[in-house]
Every structure is written in structure tokens, then in C-alpha cells.
Structure 1
Amino acid sequence: MLCGRAAVVGIHSLGCLGSMSRMGCLLRRHIHVSPGLHSLKSLLQPKPVQLKLESGLERSNGSDDNGPRRHVPVMLEEVVEYLQMKLDLETGALLDDAFNDPSTKRLFCDATFGEGHYTRKLLDTFNCDVVVVDQDPFAIERAKKLADEEPYRGRVVPIHGKFGDLKELMHRRLGSSMPCLDGIVFDVGVSSNQIDEPLRGFSFRTEGPLDMRMSSTGALEQPTIEPHVASEGLSALQVVNEFSQDQLAHIIKEYGEERFAHRVARFIINERTRKPITTTSQLASVVANAIVPRFKGKYDWSKHPATKTFQAIRIYVNDELNELRKGLKAAEELLKPGGHLVVVTFHSLEDRIVKEFIHTCAGGAHRLSQSEIRARRKTHHIESERDEEYAASAHYLVEDATRAARSGPKDMHLQSPPSFFKLTFRTVKPTSTEIESNSRSRSAKLRAAVRTLNSPMYGRRLG
């Protein structure tokens, strides 16, 4: 039986094939480093991943891009553009005149105020008042300061609360929950200023206590908070240290779409048995140690390994997806006929909800594709240039119930009169120029719709 360097020679003589060749390489490396023999387990034991903490911030949806240390609004011009589009509420055809009559006072809602970029743009573009909503007490403080600025005094109505409770908040503040809005804008996701403050507990790049509740101020000095928006529910600290391995794996897989969810959950359990996980950097290090070794030294560090896990826990703690569903339902009930809904999302879970909502509510209102327009021109013998222009501009037609019936029993609810016309047939994405100047915008998606004359239908479908 061969041992030591003779074993290496023996294995190498076999051509370094298969697992025996890998064993030979390990032994050669071992003998070069140390004259003693160690177990293969010690040779293969991965080294802990060392994370460098920064004072930077992630993208506004919670990812890891290194961008400017300030919040930059995404697709600001596109949001205003879709708010200005005007449709014929009978046919859904796009009209030439823009929805920006300076003689008409309008009421908009910025459902995710943040730093107020969308609100300022609305106030500067339209003759309007803006109801601003945010559950972050610091955002509401900024909204109150904006309301006191000279150009905007008397035009901003700050409301502290969750946009999922928008209907009740409007009734409490304005005394009415009837359709009253000409437009509502959602910029879904965590705000950059929330991530930028380590004591809020959102960032995996900075040292801070685990919290992640958007309605909480973390370890910061508490500003005035409305009684109905008190920080309630679980914090990230409780989720990480109290939930079972199966529960953690489900959350990370479901809300973070992390392929190594079960491995990450196991590493979290192992770490917390030694000592509680109480800081963001501690959790980020555990997640990195779970994921990075799986790539065998080839991990792409342009994306932080803790991105998806932090996103998942944040979404769970704040119940963000259900809040989005409730907010969209409230928008359907609060928008006047002709009112605009514009939603900007940053990851697939949010976009899927918005897509399903608009598709459901616009079920009977089908936007014609170019092939369908050509087919209708041929069917109706459209020849004159004027008729062709009209056919090309009639992007929407209210289809009869037979079209919905052909889709099968699962879509029979589409026979209900549509409550929205689609403004965006597909998702609208940032321009290459915007992505180049603001890398955080690259995952953003915009969808828009216009309220019809019909009564709400999304709530009836859910009920």
C-alpha cells in the first residue's frame, strides 16, 4: 500500500482521472504546505466569507447596486406622461387632447410619498392638489415641510398610514370615501432613505439592529406618529430568531425567490443556536457563508448574496404584497371615471400582482394588437387615409361577452363590464439613458390604466 509522496506518484501515473485525480491534487497541495497529514474534511472546510461593511445604500427596491448616495426617482417623466393621456370612456380610444387642462383643478394621490419627488412633479405639472400617503413617520415629516413651502402651500395633504388602508384614511382625513381622485401613483418598494439609515435595520451593507418595519423608526428618535399607525407586528429580529427552519425557508423561497433558501435557513438556525442574530451585518454574513461557497470561488460579487434574503424578510415583516393588493383595490374604488392608475414596481412578485389586477379589471376591454388592427381594416374594407388613422388610434375596444366566454370557465368573470382600460399593453421599462445614469432603475417596470364608467369589479371577483 502506497502512502505519502509515493501515493501521489501512483495516482498521477493513472492519468489524474476521476475522483482519484482530484484526491492526488489535494494530496500534492497538502504535502507542499505541511509535512504532516490532516483529514480531507479539514482540507475541504470552506473559509468564512468576510464581508466589507459600507455606509452606502442599495437600490430603492432593496438590492445592491452602488449608485449615488441619494434617492433618484425612477421613470418620473413616464409617470407624468401616462397621467396626461386621455381616453374616450365609451370606447377606450386614445384622444389627441392631453389630460392637462389648466382651468380644471384636479386631485391626485401619491400613495408612496418617500422623498416627495413624484409629488413635486405633479404639483409643478398640473393645476392640482396632492394627497400624500406614507407609513414612514419620517416621510410624513418631510411631507409636512413640503406643504409649508411657498409654491405648494395649501396644495399638499399629508396622511400618515398604509396605502392598503387608503379608503379609510381618505374618509378619516377628507370626510369622504367616494370616487374623488383624478389619478393615483404607486412607487412600490423600500425607499432609499430608509435603507440609507443603518438604525432602521434594512441594509445588509451597514451595521444596524434588525428591524425592517417601515412604520418603525428603529433606534432613531421617534417623531410624532399617528395612533392608528403605531409600529405593530413582528420585526426582522423576531422572524430570524424565533421562526422554525421550515418557516424561514418558506419565507426566503416565497418572497425572495432564493434558490438556496433551505440552505440559508439551516445556516441561520445553526448560527442562532450559538448566539442570537441581532444585527444586519451578522445576518448578512450568515447568508453569505451559506451561498458563496456553493459557487466554488466563482460568485459574482456585483450582487450581494444577502439581497434576496433581506428582500424576503422585509416583504414578510411588512406584509407588502397583501398591502399592494389592498391598495390597488382601494384605487379602483377611489378613482373617478377617467382617473389614472400608474404603478412602478421593482421585482417580479409586485409586478405579477399589478399585472393580474389590471388584466382582471380590464378583462372586457381588449387593447388591439397591430395584427388585430390590420385584420379589422381588412374585414371592414378600410381604405381611406382618414379611416385608417382612426383605426390605428383606436387602441381599445370594449369586446362583447362572447370573447370572454371563448377564454373558458376560468375567465368567465371577464363578462363583467371592465372597470379599467389598459394604457400599457406590456410593461414600460426605463430608457437606456436613465439606466446608464441611475443603475438602480434597471429592474423597474411601469404599468398604467384608466378608470372606466363601470362599477368596481376586482372586489366582486375576490369576494
Structure 2
Amino acid sequence: MRGRRRPDDVAVDTGARHVPVLLAEVLQALALQPGGRYLDGTFGAGGYARALLEAAPGATLLGLDRDPTAIAGGADLVAEMAGRLTLSQARFGELAEEAQRFQMAPLDGVVLDIGVSSMQIDQAERGFSFRFDGPLDMRMGREGQSAADILNETEEGLLANIFYHYGEERRSRAVARAVVEARRKEPLTTTKQLADLVAGIVWTEPGGAHPATRVFQALRIAVNDELGELVKALHAAEAVLKPGGRLVVVTFHSLEDRIVKQFMAARSGRSPAGSRHAPVVAIAEPTFRLVSKGAVAPTDAEMRLNPRARSAKLRAAERLTTVARAAEPDLVALAEVPDPQPRRRP
């Protein structure tokens, strides 16, 4: 079944494969209804989809995945569910259009499991992991710009910002400089080339994550516009959920969780308190109600059984009757890499 990895799990091999993270908590947060209509925006190996359809008699589910391999791999589950499961190759940012296209809207629930799947990481030819030497690809949908394209064509300042903004790599400028110097001699085309280059610049404590962990994460996010798709998906879910419908999102690193947290806070009518220096700003009418206070984390028992669950966080909200609102500009900005600032002359 489906599993997601925390950012540094590309350097860890626990032997566990494709285990759905926070599965019981996801099903509880969805408040499943018999005969309900649901959408899994990140189908993967079908772990959530199977559990949902087995737990909700008569329910139907639309599963999306941008990876054609995942869609093809779900054919047996589609047959087993006898008309209750439909799969479509699409980005989860397109979930509103897909729900309308398959006449599934309005929905009783939307679940999103954000990140890269274990199946993708374990395939060397996909280029997601430095545990295996393979081509620098990282394209979930197998189309568009690859990681090698970004490394070999992006100017140094923007490359540094990608490493810093998407990977939170402190030595982003040094890594970007080394990449530019290396590609002058020959293009960077393999995961081993990049991992070795970064390992010569970034220092980590013995037993810690591989030095290239954050750079690989940053490239993967940039290649697939993961944060941009997440922002689109949150607003799309608001548009197609019926009153009382649930939005459940599982994230695996702080960048994703920050976006989900801010979206749900803004949409549930929460905002920072004002002061005499900064008056309270008028709050728009809420479109969601928070299902739980703060994020739900895995139990100690789950983390012992599946170490990849350690950084997972679940947030959930229930749709209200209010009309959906326009996109939050602050969230859109969080998903974008800032343009490099021009260097000042001494």
C-alpha cells in the first residue's frame, strides 16, 4: 500500500514498503458517509482509496495521480471495486475540474497525501533518490523540465534561491556556485554526480541525514511545482466540497504544513490579534471549521512500525455553507521562489 517519506528518508532503508501513514486518523477525520462521494488527489498505490471504500458502504471515489505508472498500477483495484473507483491521470491542483468532469461534485470529502511516494523513490530510473545512481529526472508526471534541465540551465542566483526556499539549505549559495562551476566542464546528468558534489560542500553530523537531502528535496519540489499545486488544490477543494464535507491533508515537511496551516487558519476566520500599533483587520466570513486544534501526529506505535511516518502531520477542516473565496495571495507567495536580488558593487 501507499507510503510517503519524510525529506531525509531517501537516505534510509527500513525495509517497510508502501504503508499508508496516519490511515486510521485520516478515515476518522473524513467522517465517512455511506454512499458518499470522495476524491483522493494523490492516489499512489491506493492505500487510502482501498481503506476508504471498504469503510464506507456504497461510497464512490475519484482517484487522481499525475504519475501514469500509479494510474496503471491501480487497474486491479478499479476492477475489484466494481464501479465504485475511478482513476484519472491529473495533478491534484486540477481536482475541481476533474470532479466536475466525472460528475462527482459536490464532494463529501477530499484527502491529499503530499510528497513523493516510496514507489517513486525506489525506482532508480526516476532520479528521486541518491541511494541509487540514476538520471536526474524527478518528474512525477514524466513530462516538462527535469531536474537536470534546472541544474544545467538555471542562473546561479535563482538556483541558490531554489535550494534555500524549497530545501531550506543553509549553504544554498555555495552549492549553487559549485553546480555552475561543475556544469562548465560537463553537464550534471546523474544523481551520483549531484550527491557527490553536494557532499563535498555541505557538512552533516555522523549518523545524520545525507548532505544532499535538502538539495534533492528542493529540486523535486521545483520540478513538480509541488507547493504551487498544493495551493491550487486547497482552493479547489473549497470550491467542490459540499457543506459538511471534509478536507484532510497529510504533509511531511514544514513547507507543506505551513501552507495548509495558513490556509485553514484564514478560511476558518482565525487571524493574529491586533494592537494599538496594528489594528485588527476585518476577517472575511469563514468557509471552513477546523476539525481539530493543531496538527495530528502519528502515535508512538505507528512511528515504531513505520519510521517514515515520523514527520507526518494531519490537518482537517469541515466545509461551511459560505461561498468559496478567491485565492489567498500570501499562500501563492509562499509557493513561489523569490527572484534573486542583484548583487551590490562594493
Same fold (TM over 0.5): yes
Instruction: Give the aligned partner of residue 261 of structure 1.
Output: 172
Instruction: Give the aligned partner of residue 27 of structure 2.
Output: 80
Aligned pairs, number: 326
Q: Which has the larger radius of gyration?
A: 1
Instruction: Give the aligned partner of residue 91 of structure 1.
Output: none
Do 1:361 and 1:458's aligned partners in 2 also have CA atoms closer than 8 Å?
no
Structure possessing the higher relative contact order (Cα contacts under 8 Å, 6 or more residues apart): 2
Instruction: Give the aligned partner of residue 124 of structure 2.
Output: 198
Instruction: Give the aligned partner of residue 293 of structure 2.
Output: 425
1:312, 1:66 → 2: CA distance?
Answer: 21
1:164 to 83, 88, 93: 93
Instruction: Give the aligned partner of residue 134 of structure 2.
Output: 208
- Letter of the aligned partner of 1:338 in structure 2? G
Label 1:189 to 1:411 Cα distance change in 2 as closer, same or farther (>3 A).
Answer: farther
1:71 to 9, 18, 25: 18
Instruction: Give the aligned partner of residue 335 of structure 2.
Output: none
1:169, 1:159 → 2: CA distance?
Answer: 8
Structure with greater helix share of residues? 1
Do 2:42 and 2:113's aligned partners in 1 also have CA atoms closer than 8 Å?
yes
Compute the TM-score of the two structures, normalised by the length of structure 1. Answer: 0.67
Q: Does 1:186 align with 2:112?
A: yes
- Letter of the aligned partner of 2:256 in structure 1? E
2:36 to 106, 114, 128: 106
- Letter of the aligned partner of 1:136 in structure 2? D
Tell me, what secondary structure is at the counterpart of 1:130?
Answer: strand
2:217 to 296, 299, 311: 311
Deviation at residue 171 of structure 1 after TM alignment: 2.5
Counting only pairs closer than 5 Å after superposition, residues 13-412 of structure 1 correspond to structure 2 as 59=5, 61=7, 63=9, 64-84=11-31, 100=33, 104-127=34-57, 128-149=59-80, 152-174=81-103, 179-216=105-142, 231-232=143-144, 234-292=145-203, 299-363=205-269, 411-412=281-282
1:145, 1:61 → 2: CA distance?
Answer: 30
Deviation at residue 409 of structure 1 after TM alignment: 5.2
Structure 1 runs of 4+ with >4 Å offset: 403-410, 460-463
Tell me, what secondary structure is at the counterpart of 1:459?
Answer: coil
Deviation at residue 461 of structure 1 after TM alignment: 7.1
Do 2:4 and 2:20's aligned partners in 1 also have CA atoms closer than 8 Å?
no
Do 1:59 and 1:65's aligned partners in 2 also have CA atoms closer than 8 Å?
no
- Letter of the aligned partner of 1:124 in structure 2? E
Do 2:247 and 2:317's aligned partners in 1 also have CA atoms closer than 8 Å?
yes
Counting only pairs closer than 5 Å after superposition, residues 434-445 of structure 1 correspond to structure 2 as 434-445=302-313
CA root-mean-square deviation: 2.3
Tell me, what secondary structure is at the counterpart of 2:14?
Answer: coil
Do 1:186 and 1:343's aligned partners in 2 also have CA atoms closer than 8 Å?
yes
Label 1:342 to 1:138 Cα distance change in 2 as closer, same or farther (>3 A).
Answer: same
Deviation at residue 271 of structure 1 after TM alignment: 1.8
Do 2:4 and 2:115's aligned partners in 1 also have CA atoms closer than 8 Å?
no
Unaligned runs of 5+ in 1: 1-56, 85-98, 217-230, 367-402
